[in-house]
Amino acid sequence: MRDHIKIPEVLAIAGLGQMGASFAMAVRKFLPEIRLSGWAPSQQEAEKAVELGIVDEASTNTKKVLSEADVVMLAMPISPLIDFVNDHVTEFKIGSIVTDLSSVKSDIVDGIRPGLCEQGVHFIGGHPMAGTEKTGMENGDADMYTDKVVFLTPFCTDDPAALSIVRELWRSIGGNTFEVDAVDHDVTLARSSHVLHINSNITTHVCLQAPNKDLAMLACGGAFRDTSRISSSNPDLWVNVTKHNKQAILKAMDETLDQVSHVRSWIEGEDWDSLYKFLAEGKALRDDWWDSFNKLDKK
Amino acid sequence: MRDHIKIPEVLAIAGLGQMGASFAMAVRKFLPEIRLSGWAPSQQEAEKAVELGIVDEASTNTKKVLSEADVVMLAMPISPLIDFVNDHVTEFKIGSIVTDLSSVKSDIVDGIRPGLCEQGVHFIGGHPMAGTEKTGMENGDADMYTDKVVFLTPFCTDDPAALSIVRELWRSIGGNTFEVDAVDHDVTLARSSHVLHINSNITTHVCLQAPNKDLAMLACGGAFRDTSRISSSNPDLWVNVTKHNKQAILKAMDETLDQVSHVRSWIEGEDWDSLYKFLAEGKALRDDWWDSFNKLDKK
């Protein structure tokens, strides 16, 4: 943390699944001076988080957790997150900072920012490009956010100090923060993440529901393993993401349909030159991305 | 190798790219008594393969290589492979066994088996579920085929001894062989591999050609990394595969289009229950496959 920014003393994580637990574990590792408190919907989860050393204390009592925290990290699916904040909006500490790690930003900003602002609470949206197909605090990882891209979606009217604190929190635990417009974020992520999850799931259906099921099970190898990995993700989570980024997702699906139709017509018409050109372009795009993905340094 | 099957003394690999080189390296590792010879189209490649210790000797002279080999592994793309065999069909040793590792089997069987049979040469088609997006003998790996599924597509009229030798060769280097019908193989692989490669490449186009290209580069994370990996594959190779499995690939693409359309209509109509059911089914299919993929033992 930079000297001129006040380090928050108490950081609360509301939601102790894989993403929230990983954030807590990262703060514990890189900013051990911060006191960590957790909110979970069940007593069992709250106790487990303390037993596993993920947070210093945990409770199912929102008022207790929210009113004592300088920073609150909201780590739950989008619809429950919006309901959680609106149901408990008066319980946050005045002047505290609320942030999140949801992969859709516009609906979050629209859904919770006005209510928080009215209470004198800052909100800075966030989205780390991290996570796996697994779930639960037992799959948490203190290094989940190391060297990962973290998008922040501040408003021009946000308090610069609040933005700085959220930015420095992420940088301190190893993230590379980038500030982007919430709508641009959602349009881009519809392609690079949301439709990717839907298409991976479709791939799994097409591959494994082949006429000869036993043969299909054997015929899926390393290429299937990688392209289908994210189809093992939590379906609840992805229905929720889809609900909250519907228009951008539909647009990205239409583009996918167009591209599949083009490629199909080249194959049907035996236009092998066009197919070659398309595949070679895709390879060049991917190779180029891979280079930049590997070169991305902490900034 | 089982005692009652004669171990081939000289094994030739025609084509010394990643797949052929890996096969040679695996034979060297697990069956060191076999003498390995290689054929490459250029003197430079032939010399490099010997220098790297991949084969004992290598040449650009087909007659020299083919006439001395007890078993010939054809390790080249499908169209060049068919031309290679037909151009040099009289140069194979009578009674020798020819096999391959192409991911399409019907066109291979139709294209080279009759000519080889006429010369008194056995042909047993093969296809290991292995390989990476990389190319070249320098990316060869002696363990590439360890614990991998290897499909063999014998005809009922094939000499059982020829089949046994090919089967035992693969088993000796760690493969799990399964005998399947060539047409069934191609229909299944169209889904689990061929269309998978095309769709992965389409994914790359959709994700990286987003309106905000710089943002797209940052917004592609671990999910993109895995689903797009195989779009970095050699485009020549995949155009060639597509040419030779056109009808099955078109059918699999139609099914993909159908499924994307269904999912799209659920999202547009906000039928979240159907979307949830579909994603949960996909997750269950993938989790089930993953268990069986990890449990696959040598048989």
pLDDT for A158-216, tens place per residue? 999 999 999 999 999 999 999 999 999 999 999 999 999 999 999 999 999 988 899 99
Number of structural domains chain B divides into = 2
Task: Please give the Cα distance from B226 to A225 (Å, whole number).
Answer: 9
Question: Which of B125, B148, B180 is at the close of a domain?
Answer: B180
CA distance, residue B30 to nearest chain A CA (Å): 23
> Taking all residues of chain B, what is their mean pLDDT, rounded to a whole number?
94
The per-residue pLDDT for range A201-226, each reduced to its tens digit, is 999 999 999 888 999 999 999 999 99
> Are A285 and B204 a contacting pair at CB < 8 A?
yes
**Same domain, residue pair B159 and B244:** no
Q: Which chain B residue lies closest to A191 (C-alpha atoms)?
A: B207
In a domain, B2, yes or no: no
> CA Rg, chain B, in Å?
21
Using a CB-CB cut-off of 8 Å, the residues of chain A touching B280 are 235
Are B143 and B174 within 8 A, CB to CB?
yes
Q: Which chain B residue lies closest to A198 (C-alpha atoms)?
A: B279
Are B116 and B123 within 8 A, CB to CB?
yes
Q: Which of B200, B248, B270 is nearest to B228 (CA)?
A: B200
Q: Which chain A residue lies closest to B288 (C-alpha atoms)?
A: A217
Using a CB-CB cut-off of 8 Å, the residues of chain A touching B293 are 220, 225
| Residue range of the domain that includes A247 | 185-295
The three-state DSSP-derived secondary structure of B250-276 is HHHHHHHHHHHHHHHHHHHCCCHHHHH
In a domain, B3, yes or no: no
In a domain, B252, yes or no: yes
Q: Which helix (H) or strand (E) holds B122?
A: strand B122-124
Using DSSP bridges, classify how beta strands A71-74 and B57-59 pair: parallel, antiparallel or unpaired. unpaired
> Are A202 and B231 a contacting pair at CB < 8 A?
no
In a domain, A163, yes or no: yes
DSSP track, B123-160 = EE-EEES---S--SGGG--TTTTTT-EEEE---TTS-H
**Same domain, residue pair A30 and A152:** yes
> Are A227 and B224 a contacting pair at CB < 8 A?
no
**Tokens matching residue A188:** 């881009």
Q: What is the mean pLDDT of each run of 10 residues along chain A (299 residues)?
A: 67 97 97 97 97 98 98 96 98 97 96 96 96 87 95 92 96 96 96 95 94 92 94 93 96 95 97 98 96 71
By CB atoms closer than 10 A (0-12, 13-18, 19+), residue B245 is buried
In a structure prediction context, what are the per-residue pLDDT tens digits for chain B, which is 299 residues long? 444 556 799 999 999 999 999 999 999 999 999 999 999 999 999 999 999 999 999 999 999 999 999 999 999 999 999 999 999 999 999 999 999 999 999 999 999 999 999 999 999 999 999 987 788 999 999 999 999 999 999 998 899 999 999 999 999 999 999 999 999 999 999 999 999 999 999 999 999 998 889 999 999 999 999 999 999 999 999 999 999 999 999 999 999 999 999 999 999 999 999 999 999 999 999 999 999 988 864 43
Using a CB-CB cut-off of 8 Å, the residues of chain A touching B228 are 286, 289
Q: Which chain A residue lies closest to B256 (C-alpha atoms)?
A: A206
**Same domain, residue pair B107 and B238:** no
Q: Is B10 helix (H, G, I), strand (E, B) or coil?
A: strand
A209, A221, A230 ranked by CB distance to B149: nearest: A221
Are A122 and A116 within 8 A, CB to CB?
yes
To test the contact with chain A by mutation, choose from B134, B188, B293 the residue with the greatest count of A C-beta atoms within 10 A, namely B188
In a domain, B30, yes or no: yes
Task: Please give the Cα distance from B200 to A197 (Å, whole number).
Answer: 12
Placement of tokens 């490629």 in the chain = A263
> Are B188 and A215 a contacting pair at CB < 8 A?
yes
Placement of tokens 């290991």 in the chain = B128
Question: Which of A180, A211, A241 is at the close of a domain?
Answer: A180
Interface size, chain A vs chain B, as Cβ–Cβ contacts under 8 Å: 298
**Same domain, residue pair A44 and A119:** yes
Task: Please give the Cα distance from B237 to A222 (Å, whole number).
Answer: 17
Total residues found in chain B within this entry: 299
B211, B256, B281 ranked by CB distance to A187: nearest: B211
Using a CB-CB cut-off of 8 Å, the residues of chain A touching B230 are 223, 226-227
Are A87 and A63 within 8 A, CB to CB?
no
Are A105 and A182 within 8 A, CB to CB?
yes
**Same domain, residue pair B134 and B108:** yes
In a domain, A236, yes or no: yes
**Same domain, residue pair A149 and A25:** yes
> Are B287 and A196 a contacting pair at CB < 8 A?
no
By CB atoms closer than 10 A (0-12, 13-18, 19+), residue B43 is exposed
> Are A227 and B226 a contacting pair at CB < 8 A?
yes
Using a CB-CB cut-off of 8 Å, the residues of chain B touching A191 are 206-207, 210, 216, 219
A130, A239, A282 ranked by CB distance to B276: nearest: A239
Task: Check residue B193 and report its DSSP letter.
Answer: I
Q: CATH number for the domain including A199?
A: 1.10.3660.10
φ, ψ of residue A56 in degrees (nearest 5): -75, -35
In a domain, B144, yes or no: yes
Using a CB-CB cut-off of 8 Å, the residues of chain B touching A144 are none
Task: Please give the Cα distance from A193 to B80 (Å, whole number).
Answer: 39
